[in-house]
Amino acid sequence: MMANASPSSLTVEKAAALLGRRARWRWAEVLFWVVAAATLFLWPERHLILNEIAIIGLFAVSLDLILGYAGIVSLGHAAFFGLGAYVAGLFAKHVTGDPLVGLAAAGLVAGILGFATSFLVLRGADLTRLMVTLGVALVLGELANQMSWLTGGADGLQGIMMGPVLGLFEFDIFGTVAYAYSLSVLFGLFVVARMIVNSPFGLSLRSIRDNPLRARGIGIPVNRRLVAIYTVAAVYAGIAGGLLAQTTQFVSLDVLAFHRSADVMLVLVIGGVGYLYGGLVGAVIFKVLQDVLSAMTPQYWQFWIGLILVLLVLAGRERMTDRILGLWRRLTGRSAKAVDATRASTPVPEVQP
Amino acid sequence: MTPALETRGLVKRFGGLTATDDVTFRLEPGARHALIGPNGAGKTTFINLLTGVLAPTSGQILLEGEDVTRLRPELRVQRGLARTFQINQLFAAMTPLETIGLAVSERMGGGRDWWRVIGSKREILDEIVEIADRFRLTDVLGERTANLAYGKQRLLEIAVAFACKPRVLLLDEPAAGVPEAERHELLATVAALPREVSVLLIEHDMDLVFSFAERISVLVNGALFTEGTVEEVSTDPRVRAVYLGESVDE
């Protein structure tokens, strides 16, 4: 009965193809990056806002790594973003104006904070994690406020002079070099993030998100994996903050503010959690909405953002897609009754989350 | 011979309640051993102690002669002690292929690889295919686990534990809730588990116990009540009394 000792190579090939399916680059993805690169040449008057979008996108990818893939909720992700921004700013002021070295410093310091605070988020459920992350960000915000001799306090960190990127490209007032720089960093880090989530390590993160009990039950060192990804995400957020400081040549307390953490969560919810592009798509939508709405109603744009958020979460993206699919079925002649009948005949048991 | 799994004077107290009461138990290598007992007898607590989810109040747990009493759950798995769950504990959003692949790759020490695309190692793929075949999951490998028929989910539950290549396998009510039509397939795969794996079956279903087990231990109120061959235990009037809920004359 079990004599089939050497599995047929066909099945092995099929298994390899199925497993590698997620990792293959799709045309839509290639198109996305081609369009992003094209905006460098085609849309020069928008480079300042595009630069901001790239930075927020990277910040959101960072949050997606822990929220979407490892299931760690955070309301204080700005702690790493803000720390990265201050480190990059101070580094440029006191050490060297070279952008890439400064960026590495920002990522490194944020990563150290991420590693140290990861042990706080290991234990406890979602509420604990929300409070702990929020608390860490609040503490950092207040420290930056009090240490005005270093950070400039409420006046912000001024007098940042950036050197040229790679010693070749000086930052210009139109933000073209800034955008090219941010987009390149974003792309590089995105490719790495994509690699991580499609690796065995990334798969183990998804299993932890789905069912930490069982993940332990198959020998996965759950805590170590969570520490690792939380640290990586902190590095990413720190680099995003560093990019903001370098390209705007200014750091204010705003980088550590609560709304930064909330906004990045919002961006991710708008774009969709757990597929990396959600952060990028969300960043585009969020920034464009903010731009359009604040032009129409400068004082009330947050009202609309809030309303959209409520509708999005209440209606639920999946339910919306279901509706559209249902409508499609009805249009193509398959009655809802038939769908219900097939549903009833096949028992769909609950899998424990 | 060194037992595959052994407990010595194992005790677990929750406040005033003694859930595991001085249990000294041996699982011989290659055993087909069943642990039975009425509801609330402490079977689940016992399993949680064995796997390291709970820490015992006192006593020892030895896996192939080595003390694992204080070892973390994931390290016990790596040493060859795997379990299945009474209520499915699967990764709903993943496919059986990914689930089995994950367990195999973790066991081979590839779980930390972040630069490699999953499915790029031939030896892992070979093993996935072999396990899928053994547990009759080949046809549904690419489907979302949440969408599988319940019987297939139960099979996957065992397949995942098996993918950890355990030397001791704890099966917690493997057939619970499986509809009659899918039952045969499940029982056949359980019966076909290789002999080098020592199996402890925790079960309510007496048909399954009698068809599968060679030895039976009975747990009552957290303590080992009796132990013996299927023949001995099934004819023991005291065991019948416990199961019928009658008072037992000590």
DSSP string covering A287-351: HHHHHHHHHH-TTTHHHHHHHHHHHHHHH-HHHHHHHHHHHHHHHTT--HHHHHHHHHHS--PPP
Q: Which of A223-227, A323-327, B17-21, B169-173 has the lowest mean pLDDT?
A: A323-327
CA distance B10 to A18: 46
Q: Single out the residue of B186, B192, B216 nearest to residue B203, CA to CA.
A: B216
Q: Which of the four pLDDT bands, split at 50, 70 and 90, describes residue A124? A: confident
What are φ and ψ of residue B199, in 5° steps? -120, 130
Does A178 share its domain with A85? yes
Give the bridge partners for A342, in sequence order: none
- A353/B92 CB distance under 8 A: yes
pLDDT at A158 exceeding the cut of 90 = no
Identify whether residues A36 and A88 lie together within a single domain: yes
Q: What letter represents residue B67's amino acid?
A: D
In this structure, of A13-27, A210-224, A242-256, B76-90, the range with the lowest mean pLDDT score is A13-27
Confidence of residue A324 (pLDDT cuts 50, 70, 90): low
Q: Which of residues 181-210 of A touch B (CB under 8 A)?
A: 195-196, 198-204, 206-207, 210
For residues B85-107, one letter each, b for 16 or more C-beta atoms within 10 angstroms of the residue's C-beta and e for the rest, the string is bbebbbbbbbbbbbbbbbbbbbb
Question: pLDDT by residue (tens digit) across B224-235?
Answer: 888 888 888 888
In 3-state terms, what secondary structure has residue B128? Answer: helix
Same domain, A122 and A74: yes
For residue A323, name the pLDDT band (cuts at 50, 70, 90).
low
- What confidence score (pLDDT) does residue B82 get? 94
Q: Which domain holds residue A82?
A: 27-296
Count Cβ neighbours within 10 Å for each residue of A132-153 and write b for 16 or more, e otherwise.
bbbebbbebbeebeeeeeebbe
Mean pLDDT of A124-133: 88
Taking CB atoms and an 8 Å cutoff, what residues of chain B touch A351? 88, 90, 92, 145-146, 153
Could you read off the pLDDT of B34-47 as tens digits, one per residue? 999 888 888 889 99
Question: pLDDT, tens digit, for every residue of B196-209?
Answer: 999 999 987 788 88
Number of domains in chain B: 1
Query: pLDDT value at position B64?
Result: 92
pLDDT single digits (tens) A41-51: 988 888 999 99
Report pLDDT for A3.
43
Give dist(CA A305, CA A266) in Å, integer. 9
Could B146 and A351 be called an inter-chain contact, meaning their C-beta atoms sit closer than 8 Å?
yes
Q: Look up residue A172 and give its two tokens.
A: 């210009």
Residue B140 in tokens = 């549904």
Interface of B with A in 22-61 (CB under 8 A): 51
Note whether B118 contacts A204, CB cutoff 8 Å.
no
Q: Are residues A163 and A239 in the same domain?
A: yes
Cβ atoms of residues B84 and B170 within 8 Å: yes
H or E element that contains A178: helix A176-197
Assess contact for B7 and B42: CB atoms under 8 A. Answer: no
pLDDT above 90 covers a percentage of chain B that reads: 51
Judge whether A174 and A47 are in contact, CB under 8 Å.
yes
Residue with tokens 């295919």: B129
- From the candidates A197, A222, A351, which should be mutated to test the interface with B, based on the most B CB atoms within 10 A? A351
Q: Do A200 and A122 sit in the same domain of this protein? A: yes
The answer to whether A245 and A136 are in contact (CB under 8 A) is: no
pLDDT of A209 reads: 92
pLDDT in tens, B68-105: 999 999 899 999 999 999 888 999 989 999 999 999 99
Query: Radius of gyration (Cα) for chain B, nearest Å?
Result: 19
**Residue A260 domain-assigned?**
yes
- Cα(A323)–Cα(B177) distance, rounded to whole angstroms? 33
Contact: B130, A12; criterion CB under 8 Å: no
Q: Lowest-confidence range among A60-64, A341-345, B167-171?
A: A341-345
> A209 and A135: one domain?
yes
Is A333 within a domain? yes
Task: Give the pLDDT of residue A230.
Answer: 96
A312 & A200 share domain: no
Residue A38 lies in a domain: yes
CB A258 within 8 A of CB A243: no
Residues B246 and B244: their CA atoms lie apart, in Å, by 6
Give the rounded percent of residues in chain A with a pLDDT score beyond 70.
87
Let me know whether A233 and A332 are in one domain.
Answer: no
- CATH number of the domain that A149 lies in? 1.10.3470
The residue range of the domain holding B39 is 5-244
Do residues A255 and A336 both lie within one domain? no
State phi, psi for A167 to the nearest 5 degrees.
75, 10
pLDDT band at A21 (very low <50, low <70, confident <90, very high): confident
Mean pLDDT computed over A117-129: 87
| H/E segment holding residue B170 | strand B168-172
Task: Give A106→chain B minimum CA distance, Å.
Answer: 23
Rounded Cα–Cα distance for residues A94 and B23 (Å) = 67
Domain membership flag for residue B250: no
What tokens were used for B158?
Answer: 């065992």
Pairing of the two strands B5-14 and B58-63: antiparallel
Both tokens of B1, joined, read 């011979």
Quick check: is A14 in a domain?
no
Chain A residues within an 8 Å CB radius of B95: 18
Question: Looking at the domain assignment, is residue A214 inside a domain?
Answer: yes
At B138, which CATH number? 3.40.50.300
Q: Is the pLDDT of residue B248 over 50?
A: no
At residue A228, does pLDDT exceed 60? Answer: yes
DSSP A230-249: HHHHHHHHHHHHHHHHHHHT
pLDDT above 60: residue A342: no
A213 touches chain B (CB under 8 A): yes
Same-domain check for residues A262 and A246: yes
Q: Is the pLDDT of residue B19 over 60?
A: yes
Average of per-residue pLDDT across A261-289: 91
Which of A63-72, A102-111, A149-158, B164-173 has the least mean pLDDT? A149-158
Kind plus residue range of the DSSP H or E element containing B7? strand B5-14
- The pLDDT of residue B9: 92
Q: Which residue has the higher pLDDT, A290 or A206?
A: A206
For chain A, say whether B134 makes contact (Cβ under 8 Å).
Answer: yes
Closest C-alpha among A55, A50, A108, A353 to residue A207: A353
Confidence band (pLDDT; 50, 70, 90) for A5? very low
Q: Can you tell me the mean pLDDT for A132-150?
A: 92
Task: Please tell me the predicted confidence (pLDDT) of residue A9.
Answer: 59
Q: Does A183 lie in the same domain as A322? A: no
Q: Which of A199, A220, A347 sits opposite B113 (nearest CB)?
A: A199
How many other β-carbons are positioned within 10 Å of the β-carbon of residue B147? 15
Cβ–Cβ contact A130 with B under 8 A: no
User: Terminus-to-terminus CA distance in chain B, angstroms?
Assistant: 33
Length of chain B: 250
Q: Which DSSP symbol is given to A10? A: H
Q: Is the pLDDT of residue A87 over 90?
A: yes
User: ipTM greater than 0.95, yes or no?
Assistant: no
Asked if residue A150 and residue A79 are part of one domain, the reply reads yes
- At position A175, the amino acid (one-letter code) is G
Residues 87-116 of B with CB under 8 A from A: 87-95, 97-99, 101-103, 105-107, 110-116
Best residue in A194, A214, A220, A223 to probe B by mutation, most B CBs within 10 Å? A214
Q: Three-state SS across A267-283?
A: HHHHHCCCCCHHHHHHH
**Predicted pLDDT at A208:** 93
Average pLDDT, chain A: 85
- Whether A23 contacts chain B with CB within 8 A: yes
**What integer is the mean pLDDT of A133-151?**
92
Pick from A18, A204, A348: which is nearest to B111 by CB? Answer: A204
Alpha-carbon span B209 to B216, nearest angstrom: 8
**Token pair of B116 as six digits:** 């490699």
Residue A332 pLDDT? 66
Q: Is residue B112 situated within a structural domain?
A: yes
Backbone angles phi and psi of A124, in degrees to 5: 90, 165
Domain membership of residue B249 (yes or no) is no
Tell me if A19 is assigned to some domain.
Answer: no
What CA–CA distance (Å, rounded) separates A263 from A309? 11
Q: B128 with B101: CB under 8 angstroms?
A: yes
How far, in Å, CA of A237 to CA of A303, rounded?
27
Task: List CB contacts (< 8 A) between A203 and chain B.
Answer: 94, 98, 101-102, 105, 118
Please check the confidence at residue B158 and state whether its pLDDT lies above 70.
yes
User: Which residue, A89, A70, A103, is CA-closest to A161?
Assistant: A89
Q: Which residues, at least 6 apart from B25, have a Cβ–Cβ distance to it below 8 Å?
A: B5, B6, B7, B10, B217, B224, B227
pLDDT at A331 over 90: no
pLDDT at A317: 63
SS (H, E, C) B45-111: HHHHHHHCCCCCCEEEEEECCEECCCCCHHHHHHCCEEECCCCCCCCCCCCHHHHHHHHHHHHCCCC
Number of domains in chain A: 2
B236 vs A204, more confident: A204
